Amino acid sequence: MGITMSRIIQISTIVLLSLLIASCQDMLNQPPDDAVTSEEFFNTGDDLKAYTNDLYAVLPTKSVYMDDSDSDNILGVSAADRLKGTRTVPTDRGSGGWSWGHLRRINYFLENYKRVDDAAARAQYSGIARFFRAFFYYEKVKRFGEVPWYGEVIDQDDEDLLNKARDPRALVMDSVLADINYAVDNIPAEKKLNQITKYTAFILKARIGLFEGTFRKYHDLGNHEKFLEASASAAKELIDSGAYTLYTNGGPDQAYLDLFARNNQDMTETILAVDYEFGIRTHDLAYRMTAPTQGRWGLAKDLVNSYLMNDGSPFTDQDGYETMGFYEEMQNRDPRLTQTTAGPDYSTYGSNDPEPVNLDITRTGYRVIKALPPKGPQWGSGGSYNDVILFRYAEALLIYAEAKAELGTLTQADLDISINELRDRVDMPHLNMADANANPDPYQENLYENLDQGVNKGVILEIRRERRVELMNEGLRWSDLMRWKEGQKVEDPIRGIYFSSLGAHDFNNDGDYDVYVHDGDDSGAPDEVTAKININERPLTGGTSGNLELFSGGTFEEPKDYYYPLPREDLELNDNLEQNPGWPE
C-alpha cells in the first residue's frame, strides 16, 4: 500500500516541528512528543522511508564545490580565516558547528523504527539512519576531535548525560565504524542517484577509514592500521562489485569536464548527487565563478605546477618552468589541467567559440571551470541547476591506493586497478610503483613536511598528487591537509600566473595581445586586449616581473589549528566540557 498525501503531510509536519524546536534551542533533551508521534507514524515501511528522507539534511549540498576556495588549492576574493590563522572562538550556544539537532532526529528514529513489522524495511531504513549518524559524527570528529557520543535521545531530566564530558576519540570512532558497518550490511545493493544505498555506505566507510587511519598515523595517535584496513577493504568491495566505472564519454579531452559541467548526473561514475532542476531547485556556483565581485576563484600556482606533462614526467622537471608564460606552461600537460582551468583555447561548455581572456573574474589568473555549466542564464545569480556530486567512484580508486600505500601493502596490481584507471581516462601513462619509489619527486616532497619516509615515500607522493588533481574543487583538500598533519602548508604563499615584464602578453599564441600588465597607467594597452592587470592591486613577486603575489601566507599553530574551538556558552553551561588545546575559554 502506498503512502497517502495526508500521511506525508502529517509525518513532515511532525518532523519539521521537531526540527524547529531543535534549531531554536539545539538541545538534545528536547525530543518530539513521542507519546503521540511514535505511535502515529512508526507503523509501516513507508513511514520509515518518509522519516529518513528528512535525514538527508545531514549531507552537504553546493558547499562541497566551495570548500576548496578555503584551502591552498584555490584563492578567491580573499583568503579564508582558517588559511590566515584568524579563526576566533564562537560565542553562542550551538554555533561554530557545535550543533546536535540532526543527531537528535536520527536517534529518535533508531529508538522507534522497530515498531514496524516489515523486517526488510526495518533493516534498510535503520541502515540508512546509521549511515547518517556515522556521517554526522565523522564530520564532528574532523572538526573538533573528541566529542560526546550520544546513542540515544536524552531525557530532559538526565543531567548526567546532558552535562557529560567529551568521550575519547577511540570510543567515538569505533562507534562510527560500527554504524557504517551496520549500514553496509543492511542497506540493499541498489544504484540510486539521489538516495543512500549499500554502495554509498561502502564509499563513506572508505572515506572515514582513510581519514581516521592517516590522521592517527601522522598525528601519532596509534591503532591506525584498523581504520586503513577497513578503508581499503570497503574501497575494494566497491571496486569488485562492478557497479560503477569511470565516466569516459567524449574521450580524454572532454570526459572529465563533462562529468561535472553537465546538468544531470547519471550512475556511470556518480554514486550520490544532489539533484538540481531548472525552476525548482537551483544554486549560485556559476555566478560565484564568473562574477567579478563574487568568488573570483583561481587555482594556486603550486597546484598548476603539480599537473604532470602528458608523457608522465613532472612539469617541474622542465628547464625554466618557474618563468614560463601562460601559453607555454599549458602545452602538453595532463588533459585534466585544461578541463579544470581555462586554457589558451578555452571555449565555454557547450560552445566552440573561443572565450576572451578575462582575469577580472580570477585572482590568480588560473580561472576555475570545473563544474561550470553552459554560459547563459545559469551564470546569473541563483541560476545554476547542474547537479552536485557528493560521492563518485573515482574517489574509491584513490582511497584504495592511498590506504594500501600507507599500510605498506600496496602492489603494482593495486595501482593498475586504481590510479592507473584514472590515468587511462585521460590517456596518461601509468604510474609505476618501482619507478616512483626509486625517484621521489623533489617538488612534491617539498610540499609535504610530514611524510612516511619508508620505501613507499615516492608512490605516496604520486598518490597525493593524483588525489589533488583528480578531486580538485570537490571539498576534500582541507581535510587532506589536516589528516596528513600538513597544517604548515597554509603558511606558504599562494601565487598566480607568471609575467615576464610589464606590457602586453599573448595568452593563446595567435599573434594578438590578450593581457596588459601595467603599474597604474594602461594608456599603452593595444585595442585587442581583453584583460588588464594593475600591479599596484595585484603585485608581482619581482616588482615588474614574476608571479602574481596574492596571499603571502598565513599562520598555523600546532596542534591548536587542527581543530575548531567550542562555543563559549556551551563551555559555560557544561562544566565537564573543555576547550580544545590552544584556544581561549
Average confidence (pLDDT) over 142-164: 89
Give residue 75's Cα distance to chain centre: 15
pLDDT greater at residue 472 or residue 21? 472
Tell me what pLDDT residue 37 has: 60
Burial (CB count within 10 angstroms: exposed 0-12, middle 13-18, buried 19+), residue 506:
middle
Give residue 368's Cα distance to chain centre: 15
Query: In 10 A of CB 522, how many CB atoms?
Result: 13
Tell me what pLDDT residue 36 has: 40
Does residue 577 carry a pLDDT above 50?
Answer: yes
Average confidence (pLDDT) over 89-111: 95
Tell me what pLDDT residue 154 has: 84
| C-beta of residue 425 within 8 angstroms of C-beta of residue 255 | yes
Who contacts 458 (Cβ-Cβ below 8 Å, separation ≥6)? 436, 437, 438, 439, 440, 441
Does residue 21 carry a pLDDT above 50?
Answer: no
| C-beta of residue 513 within 8 angstroms of C-beta of residue 529 | yes
CATH topology for 195-271+392-474 is 1.25.40
User: For 31-49, how does the pLDDT look when each residue is reduced to its tens digit (9 = 90+)?
Assistant: 444 444 667 789 999 999 9
Nearest partner of 153 among 192, 107, 117, judged by Cα: 107
Does residue 3 carry a pLDDT above 80?
Answer: no
Where residue 358 falls among pLDDT bands split at 50, 70, 90? Answer: very high
User: For 221-244, how does the pLDDT look when each residue is reduced to its tens digit (9 = 90+)?
Assistant: 999 999 999 999 999 999 999 999
3-state class of 583 per DSSP? coil
Angle at 187 between CA 181 and CA 191, to 5 degrees: 120
User: For 307-327, how does the pLDDT look when each residue is reduced to its tens digit (9 = 90+)?
Assistant: 999 999 999 999 999 999 999
Tell me what pLDDT residue 9 has: 33
Interatomic CA distance for residues 419 and 44, integer angstroms? 45
Tell me what pLDDT residue 157 has: 75
**Phi, psi at 546, each rounded to 5°:** 120, -170
Interatomic CA distance for residues 276 and 274, integer angstroms? 7
Copy the grid coordinates of residue 153: 535521545
Query: Residue 128 to residues 179, 189, 199, 363, 494: CA-CA distances in angstroms?
Result: 10, 12, 12, 42, 41
Q: Residue 505: in which H helix or E strand, if any?
A: strand 503-505
Where residue 161 falls among pLDDT bands split at 50, 70, 90? Answer: confident
pLDDT greater at residue 64 or residue 12? 64
User: For 431-486, how does the pLDDT look when each residue is reduced to its tens digit (9 = 90+)?
Assistant: 999 999 999 999 999 999 999 999 999 999 999 999 999 999 999 999 999 999 99
19-33, 62-76, 368-382, range with the lowest pLDDT: 19-33
Who contacts 149 (Cβ-Cβ below 8 Å, separation ≥6)? 137, 167, 171, 172, 175
Where residue 119 falls among pLDDT bands split at 50, 70, 90? Answer: very high
Rounded to the nearest integer, the mean pLDDT of the chain is 93
Residue in this structure with the C-alpha cell 552535562, named with its chain if needed: 163
Where residue 10 falls among pLDDT bands split at 50, 70, 90? Answer: very low
Residue 219 backbone class (left: φ over 0; alpha: ψ -120 to 50; beta: rest) = alpha
* pLDDT above 70: percentage of residues in the chain: 94
Does residue 110 carry a pLDDT above 50?
Answer: yes
274-297 CB burial, b ≥16 within 10 A, e <16: bebeeeeebbbbbbbbbbeeebbb
